[in-house]
Structure 1
Amino acid sequence: MPAPEPTLETALARYLRHVTIERGLSPNTVEAYQRDLEVYLVVLAARGVTTPAAIGSADVTAFVHELRDRPEPLSATSTARMLSSVRGFHRFLLEEGLVERNVAADARPPKLASRLPKAITVDQMAAILATTDGDDERSLRDKALLELLYATGARVSEVVDLNVDDVIRSSAESGEGEAGEHGTADVIRLFGKGGKQRIVPLGSYARAAIDAYLVRARPLLSARGKATPALFLGVRGARMSRQNVWLVIKARAEQSKLGLAVSPHTFRHSFATHLLEGGADVRVVQELLGHSSVSTTQIYTLVTADTLRDMYTTAHPRAR
């Protein structure tokens, strides 16, 4: 007797397990897939579809129309992301033999407008970093945090996941403690999407800030909570969350009085843009950012091209 056909809910659970275990995607990415696909299953259920084999091309089209025709339609970016989740789910169904064909293969997302990353200038970045000058434990921590973000271009999720042991010191005694006597922080070990590891060098400012934080601030913060290997700690001694980092950046940006909307990604964009403006090779920047494809990194070359064009238009006597 053949096994009963799985329900859509069962198939979704298998897919989420697949992307978590076999593909090694981050919890945040898996949660995003789950949210998108749960919306998809609601639309399918309303159309009387309860099993993978019962899904047709018209059902996928109906889902796209549902996103587009809402009272408050999703943006083109959000619609494209949700459709990407659906297509990945259908590829999985085909690979697992749960369907005979991929009915979402021809579904196309809406065309996205080209958006350049938002970067701030070197002087503006310096002004924000200057707000962390101080000898109190919070200032020392914030300086180490923001200098690290700017020095490495790390994603905020990568930074909050850092442990003390991920700070690799130049001394042979590295890893034996937090004190400066064990060497100077030299590089940082980051774990990106899919658990991919990369080693990123630290500039002198970030090295000094991290060393000062580890010696003079982290022990005080750590004493307020349970023992944790986390590099960056909140005021109660626990690992900082992504929200904590956002709040620190927002507060420091407001303190700088630049009138700029600044986020953790602003630091990442500025890191890449300033490197390219300084003459770094795009392949090097790709490695430092942890991009799997150089095409993702090349968007930053458009930013620097715009800057050059603006400078040319302003400075050249026959540019206008």
Structure 2
Amino acid sequence: MSEYVIAIDGGGTSCRAALADRHGRVVGRGKQGSANIFTTSDTIGANIIAAAGQALKDAGIEGSKLSEIPAFLGLAGINVGERQRELAKALPFADTRFVHDGLIAMQGALGDEDGVMAILGTGSVYVSRVDGTLRNVGGWGFAIGDQASGSFIGRTLLQQTLLAHDGIREHTSLSRAVMARFNDDPEAMVEFAQQEACPADYGAFAPMIFEYDTKGDLLARDILLDAVRDITMALDAVVFEGCERLCLLGGLAHEYAKRLAPRHRAILAEPQGDALAGAVQLALRTFPLETAREKR
């Protein structure tokens, strides 16, 4: 049994890997592109392997050792479908276990304590823990879910910008700035959406919305009012009576924290750690060295 474990945090924007020893010390790290199960599995597998290989290199260990080390992976979208079975066959690890990224984020943010965790990044998902029982809300992917996520509000921004171009709604400084990104050519925007754009590409427009909201832009305001409404509804579904800790993770967490309903802001707490730290904790529990030695 290996003296190490590999932990993976795979989201819509990036795949992060950590190589940890049996004391939980991270000795190497790596990072690659998206590892969302809703994208093509070939891309996911390549990014996971590359990130894990970087972590080994960072620790001064040969990449060929990947096949001797077990891996614990938290991936966006892994709660949907059976594609993880195909993915597991394509990965070189000594043993491979999957959970969805909400579980590793929950473990990283709250440890073993009760509370609620929300990921608000390229995608969105909410997890609560009460007396050890977990409940999952959202995380259904970009096509029909991920409300309030960067990808969701970024796509909404493009949709509303085209409505302004067509004269259906008033142009604002934000919609004009988006049009300028596409050289004021609506067909270029449609081409981007039809042939190129993935969730992370739409998510790249999200920072503009928050920026222009601070300037009083009406389009930015409308998009964020809808997004915060969706977050509020989701949190009301998972925040249980007596809940004392709500942790937000993800690239948009800081911006949304300022906009939460007062009842949710009142229980906001700083996360203990991030999703990758949670993946390390769960990897060590899943692949205990002592148990493996006892079986020999």
- Give the TM-score normalised by the residue count of structure 2: 0.31
Higher strand share: 2
Tell which has more relative contact order, 1 or 2 (C-alpha 8 A, sep 6+).
Answer: 2
The structure whose Rg is larger is: 1
Higher helix share: 1
- Give the TM-score normalised by the residue count of structure 1: 0.29
